[in-house]
Amino acid sequence: EARAAKAEAEEARAAAAAGTSGAAALEATIAELRASSDEAAKTHADALAAADAETAELRASLAEAAARMAELEQEAGRLKASKAALSAETARLAGDLQLARDDAGEEEARLSKRVGELEAELEKAG
């Protein structure tokens, strides 16, 4: 359509150059303006299509990023829960270790006392 309009404009120019009327020159100008307008409309439509495509790509990227963010937030929640469980287990083990140390200290004191008693008996017997 744009080519046809340009061809029409060139024909009108040729007629005007041949000395036809001023109306032919005016028709040539109108045809040229139509061709320019059609070309501008096509350029505008192409730009809109490109912008729409880019917008769709950006929306898809945003959706992917939001999905990844949700996954990361879930993973962070799982890691926090694991950390809390490990902290609780560490505290429990520290308590168990302290009890074992206390028991070992009591056993050591009892055995030291018994060794002292046995040494005293050996001295008496000896």
What is the DSSP-derived secondary structure letter of residue 98? H
Q: Give this prediction's pTM.
A: 0.48
Give the tens place of pLDDT for each residue, 46-102: 999 999 999 999 999 999 999 999 999 999 999 999 999 999 999 999 999 999 999
Angle at 115 between CA 112 and CA 118, to 5 degrees: 155
Angle at 45 between CA 42 and CA 50, to 5 degrees: 125
Domain positions in the chain are: 2-125
Using 50, 70 and 90 to split pLDDT, how confident is the model at 29?
A: confident
| Distance of alpha carbon 94 from alpha carbon 107, whole angstroms | 20
| Distance of alpha carbon 97 from alpha carbon 101, whole angstroms | 6
> Average pLDDT over the chain, rounded to whole?
89
Residue 27 and residue 12 in contact, taking contact as beta carbons nearer than 8 Å: yes
